[in-house]
Amino acid sequence: MVEAFMFYLLATLILGLAVMVITARSAVHSVVFLVVNFLLVAVLYVMLSAEFVAVIQVLVYAGGIVVLYLFVVMLVNLKREPEQYTDPRRLGVLGTVLGGAVLAQLVGIAVYSSIRGSTVVDGAGLGSDTPFAVGNTEQLGWVLYTSYLIPFELASMLLLVAMIGAIVLAKQNL
């Protein structure tokens, strides 16, 4: 009961804030709504007993990425309204209709799969045989450094390349 109430409250707030992110006039307002949205998604992760992911969400998304966005919004100091000019070949209505079609498809898949029921959904004999009981972060670290060691190292390489790329792109005269 309490969980259901929390879920519906969080879902409403997350979706409402997401709509405000994409409809806000000023980009600074969008960034602020985005921070609150990310923090609420982190609360949702705590509800799903994924504490480590929630902490990473707060640190990296709400702390790092959004500050980066805020820097860019401040750096790109607009003298004129950014959305003044519209390409005459733009198909805005078609885009919205296609988005609605994909939404209908996703909802259809979700409802169909829940009506049909699944044989593996109880998780019996599937995935890691270690339960969550020891503590989410410890378990996650164990999985990350054993089964997913090479992808983990590749991710670190990706971050290094992205860092160098961002410096090269944004530097005035190299």
**Contacts (CB under 8 A) with another protein, residues 8-27:** 11, 14-15, 18-19, 21-22, 27
Residue 149 three-state SS: helix
| Min CB(155)–another protein separation in Å | 4
Segment 147-166, which members bind another protein (CB under 8 A)? 147-148, 151, 155, 158-159, 161-163, 165-166
Q: Are 139 and 132 in contact (CB under 8 A)?
A: yes
Amino acid at 33: F
**Per rule CB under 8 A, count of chain residues that contact another protein:** 89
| Min CB(139)–another protein separation in Å | 6
Segment 68-87, which members bind another protein (CB under 8 A)? 68-69, 71-73, 75-76, 78-79, 82-87
Segment 99-158, which members bind another protein (CB under 8 A)? 99-100, 102-103, 106-107, 110-111, 114, 120-121, 123, 126-128, 131-132, 136, 139-140, 143-144, 147-148, 151, 155, 158
Distances (CA, A) of 30 to 35, 57, 88, 169: 9, 18, 26, 25
Distances (CA, A) of 170 to 27, 63, 69, 114, 173: 20, 21, 14, 48, 9
Q: Are 53 and 139 in contact (CB under 8 A)?
A: no
Segment 41-70, which members bind another protein (CB under 8 A)? 41, 44-45, 48-50, 52-53, 56-57, 60-61, 64-65, 68-69
Burial of 54 (0-12, 13-18, 19+ CB in 10 A): buried
